[in-house]
Chain A
C-alpha cells in the first residue's frame, strides 16, 4: 500500500474514532439490522412451519448483507461534504496526493471497519445459532452457499456502497442529504439481496460465486465513475470534470 494511501487511511480512522456520531452509528445501526431477525431465528422451535423458518433465516441473512451495504454510506457522507464543510478539502487538494490515493484511502477507512463489523457479528451469530438455535435453523444457516455469499459479498457490498456514497458526497453540499441519498441509492441492491436471502433465487455456491463476480464488475464500474467525478476543479467549483 502506498505511503499516501496509508496516511489518508490513518487520518480518516483517527477522525472517525473521535466523531461520536460515527462511532454511535457504527455500533447501533448493525444491532438495529440484525437484533430482531436473530431473535426470531432463536424463537424457532419444533412446531414452527418450514416456510416460517426459511423466512426467519432469510431475514437474519438480509440483515448481515445490510450491515456492509449501509454502514459505509454513513461514513462516505463525511468523505467529501464533511471536508468541504470544515474547509479542509482545498488544503488537501493542494498537496501532491493523487485522486486515486485519496479515494482508496477514504474507501478503505469505510470498508475495513464496516466489513470487520459485519464479519464479527456473523461469527457471533454462527456461535449463537450453533449453541441455542433449533436443528432446522442450524442446517439452513450453515449451508455452504450462505457462508460463501456472506464471505464474498461483505467486502464487495461495502466497496460498492462506499463508491456510491463518495460519488454522491462529491456532488452534495450537506452531509445528511448525502447520507440519505446514498441510503436510497442502495435500495435496488437491497432488492437483489432480498431475492437471494429469501431463496427466490436458489442459494447455491455457483449462484453465490457468480453474484460475487457480478458485484466485483459493478465495483469496478463504480470506481471508474467516482474516480472521474473526483476531479479537483469539480470538487471546488461546480465546473470542470467529465
Chain B
C-alpha cells in the first residue's frame, strides 16, 4: 500500500538530550494512525520533524510524497495540516477572521475562501458562530475552531495533537465521527493522544513511543504480542489443589490466582481448552460460576510497555 508518511531512523537531539532515537515507521494513505506515549516521549517532536518545523539530527522522512528537507518545507506544508495541542487563535479577531488569515496563508483562492470557511465550521458544529470573537469562546469551542482551521486546506495528511482535549462528551463524539469521516474520504490522520480508549476506537494502527519506538501494530496485534492467551475461571468454592487440577487439563500453561476462588489460566488456544476446562470443573464438583476469555485493553498494553521503561530507568 502507498505510504503517506515514511520515517527511517528518525533521530532528534536537543543539545545532549535525546528527544527521538532511531524511529522508523510507515503510515499508509487513508490510515488513522495513533501515536501514544507519556509526556516528553517525543510525540510532539515527531510531528514537528514531519511538518518541517524542526530538522532531524539523523534519519530521513517523507510526508505526502515530499521528502522532509530544508528546501521542500513550503511544498510539504501545503499538503498537510497540523492541529496543535493548544488552539492558538487570535483572541481579538473573530472566528471568521482567524480562518480567513489561515486560508490566505494556505493560498486558498479568495473567491473560495468564504465557502471553505463556512463548510469547515459546519463540519465541527460551529456554523453560525463565525462572527464571534475568538476570545469570547470557551476552551472547547476554541478547540473546534482550531480543528476547522486544520480542515480548511483539505490536507492529504492531517496531524491532530490531542484533538478532543477540553471537549465535552457530545463534542468529543462529533470529533470522533469527523475523524471517521476523514478516513472514509481517504485523508491520512496522524493522531497523538493520551486517551487510550479513543486511540483504540479510532485508529487502524498504533505506535507507542518513549523516545524510541516501543511497539507498532493494530490494537489486537499489540495485545497478542504482549500478552499470552488466558481463560478466567471463577468457582463456587476455592479449588483444593489448583496446581494439579489445572495441570491435568490439556492445553494449559500455568495459572495464577486473581481473587478468592478466581484464577487466570494461561492457554495456547482458548477455544479448544474452554470446553474441557468447564467439564473438568463440573466433574470436580467445585461449581463453575464463570468461565471467560481474559481480555487486555490497550491501556494494559500501554502500561506494560511504559512501566517497563520506568523499571529500566530506575
Residues in A lying within 8 Å of B, measured CB to CB:
3-4, 6-8, 10-11, 14-15, 18-19, 86-98, 232-233, 236-237, 239-240
How far apart are B309's CB and chain A's nearest CB, in angstroms?
Answer: 24
Asked whether any CB of chain A lies closer than 8 Å to the CB of B227, the reply is: no
Contacts A86-B90, A86-B91, A91-B84 given; does A96 touch B105 at CB 8 Å? yes
A11→B99 CA distance, assembly (Å): 11
- Binary CB contact string for chain B from 54 to 74 against chain A (1 if under 8 A, 0 otherwise): 110000000000000000011
Chain B interface residue number, banded: 20 to 34
Chain B proximity of A45: nearest CB distance (Å): 49
Interface residue? B104 (CB, 8 A): yes
Cβ A87 vs Cβ B54 within 8 A: no
A-side contacts of B104, CB under 8 Å: 3-4, 6-8, 10-11
Residue numbers in B under 8 Å from A240 (CB-CB)? 54-55
Query: Are B97 and A91 in contact (CB-based, < 8 A)?
Result: no
Whether the pair B53, A233 counts as a contact (CB closer than 8 A) is yes
Q: How far is the CA of A10 from the CA of B52 in the complex (A)?
A: 26
Give the residues in chain B near A3, CB-CB below 8 Å. 104, 107
Q: How many angstroms from the CA of A59 to the CA of B55 in the assembled complex?
A: 51
- Nearest-neighbor residue (CB-CB) of B80 within chain A: A94
Tell which of A8, A92, A93, A240 has the most Cβ of chain B within 10 Å: A93
Complex CA gap A114/B187 in Å reads 45
Q: Indicate whether A87 sits within 8 Å of B88 (C-beta atoms), given known contacts A232-B52, A233-B53, A240-B55.
A: yes
B264 on interface, CB distance cutoff 8 Å: no
Contact A15 B92 (CB under 8 A): yes
Inter-chain contact B53/A91, CB cutoff 8 Å: no
Q: Which residues of B contact A4 (CB under 8 A)?
A: 104-105, 107
Let me know if B6 is at the binding interface, CB within 8 A: no
B78 at the A interface (CB under 8 A): yes
With A87-B86, A92-B105, A95-B106 as known contacts, state yes or no: A236 contacts B93, CB within 8 Å.
no
- Does residue B255 face the partner (Cβ distance < 8 Å to A)? no
Q: Is B116 an interface residue (CB 8 A)?
A: no
Q: How distant is B67 from chain A, measured CB to nearest CB, in Å?
A: 16
